[in-house]
Amino acid sequence: MSMMSKNVTRLTVLGSTGSIGTSTLDVVARHPDKYQVMALTASRQDELLFEQCQRFKPRYAVLLDEAAAARLSQRVASAGLAVQVLCGVKALEQVSSMPDVDAVMAAIVGAAGLRPTFAAARSGKKILLANKETLVMAGHIFMDAVSLHGATLLPIDSEHNAIFQALPHNYKGKLSASGVSKILLTASGGPFRNTPLSELQQITPDQACAHPNWVMGRKISVDSATMMNKGLEVIEAHWLFNATADDIQVVVHPQSVIHSMVQYVDGSVLAQLGNPDMRTPIAHALAYPERIDAGVAALDLFKVATLNFVAPDFERFPCLALAYQALRTGGTAPAVLNAANEVAVDAFLNLKISFLDIPRLIADVLAALPSAAANTLDDVLAADAAARNAAQEWVLR
Strand-by-strand arrangement of the 269-273 sheet = 248-252, 180-187, 258-264, 269-273
| Mean pLDDT value across residues 320-333 | 98
SS3 at position 78: helix
Fold of 9-155: Rossmann fold (3.40.50)
Distance CA(303)–CA(219), nearest Å, equals: 31
Distance CA(292)–CA(108), nearest Å, equals: 24
CA distances from 151 to 20, 115, 125, 136, 383 (A): 21, 15, 5, 19, 27
Distance CA(214)–CA(205), nearest Å, equals: 16
| Mean pLDDT value across residues 214-243 | 92
| Mean pLDDT value across residues 344-349 | 98
What percent of the chain has a predicted confidence (pLDDT) above 90? 93
- At 2, the pLDDT band (50, 70, 90 cuts) reads very low
Question: What pLDDT shows up at residue 100?
Answer: 96
* pLDDT higher than threshold 70 for residue 214: no
Question: What pLDDT shows up at residue 215?
Answer: 67
Instruction: Say which range, 140-144, 169-173, 334-338, has the weakest mean pLDDT.
Output: 169-173
| Mean pLDDT value across residues 73-87 | 98
Question: What pLDDT shows up at residue 217?
Answer: 78
How do the domains of the chain map onto residue ranges?
A: 9-155
Question: What pLDDT shows up at residue 170?
Answer: 86
* Segment 275-314, tens digit of pLDDT: 999 999 999 999 999 999 999 999 999 999 999 999 999 9
Query: What's the whole-number average pLDDT of the chain?
Result: 95
Distance CA(379)–CA(369), nearest Å, equals: 13
